[in-house]
Amino acid sequence: MSKKPKFNFLQNRSFHIRVLSAVILVTIALVAVFLGGHYFSLIAVVFGFLMLLEWRNISDKNGNFLPDLLNIFALLSTSLLVITGAITTAGIVLFAFVLVNSLERSRRGSAWRAGFGLLYMLLPVLLLMLLRGVDGGLGLILFIFSVVWAADSGAYLLGSIIRGPKLWPEISPNKTWSGFFGGVILGTIAGSGLAFLLGRDPVAYGGLAFILTIVAAGGDLLISRLKRHFGVKDTGDTIPGHGGVIDRMDAFLASVLVCAALIYLYPGIWGRF
């Protein structure tokens, strides 16, 4: 029986492209995070627009310009409201657009596609802008980024090296249990380490990082399941080596939602950055 060739990172061209794309994205993200303010909001809006466009492309291929127009209005209006501090109004407007988008999509069936897509792609974008603007927002956003990036890297590297049993082959045939645990371990270490460097409780934030690594893996699987439902391999081809923007942001979307909810509900446990 012939042995499977070992994965060689140095000779794998797709890995080189993936790393280069990741470096560019990380650089853009970090510059925007450190600049904050309107610079961060602008980058968040751009990524939000690209995700909404990709979602419409894969979930509503027969839609005309109206779904895209509604998504643009929803993105710009809610983002402007968040930037100006009208958070409650932004939430009301967001859910109003979810309803309107769903009604518009119902003419072609499967109304959930428009409503879910708008809510799941746009709400994390708005929460990121909101979290960056609070006291200690820089450290908090860096924490979320570091945990998700480390978890993604740990899953990819350890899963490629060790391989082994599949995590959920019916949904994502390339993901393995070794990659899952690699992501959990590296993501938890990154979150705890960053908290320590920033003078926060490494145990508490290590626990939060542990939760987020699992949530990130779940977010990845959710998008994989949806892609199978729509019969596509990637959500787009915007990012070389990664596919679409949603493919790159799938773990972030779920992680931002859960992290924001936990910090809002239990601020005494995590404290503030």
pLDDT in tens, the chain (273 residues): 445 555 555 556 666 777 788 888 889 999 999 999 999 999 999 999 999 999 999 999 888 889 999 999 999 999 999 999 999 999 999 999 999 999 999 988 889 999 999 999 999 999 999 999 888 889 999 999 999 999 998 998 888 888 888 988 888 888 899 999 999 999 999 999 999 998 888 999 999 999 999 999 999 999 999 999 999 988 988 877 678 899 989 999 999 999 999 988 887 776 665
Task: Give a yes or no: residue 187 inside a domain.
Answer: yes
Confidence (pLDDT) at 1: 45
Q: Range of 46's domain?
A: 13-270
R_g over Cα of the chain: 19
- Residue 117 CA to residue 56 CA, distance in Å, equals 8
Q: Quick one: pLDDT at residue 3?
A: 52
The reply to whether 145 falls in a domain is: yes
Helix axes 202-230, 177-197, angle to 10 degrees: 140
Q: Is 189 inside any structural domain?
A: yes
User: Looking at the domain assignment, is residue 5 inside a domain?
Assistant: no
Considering the domain boundaries, does residue 26 fall inside one?
yes
The tokens describing 104, both together, are 């518009």
Tell me whether residue 179 is in a domain: yes
Residue 3 lies in a domain: no
Predicted pLDDT at 12: 61
Q: What is the DSSP string of 154-217?
A: HHHHHHHHH--SEEETTTEEEEEHHHHHHHHHHHHHHHHHHHHHTTS-HHHHHHHHHHHHHHHH
The domain tally of the chain equals: 1
Quick check: is 1 in a domain? no
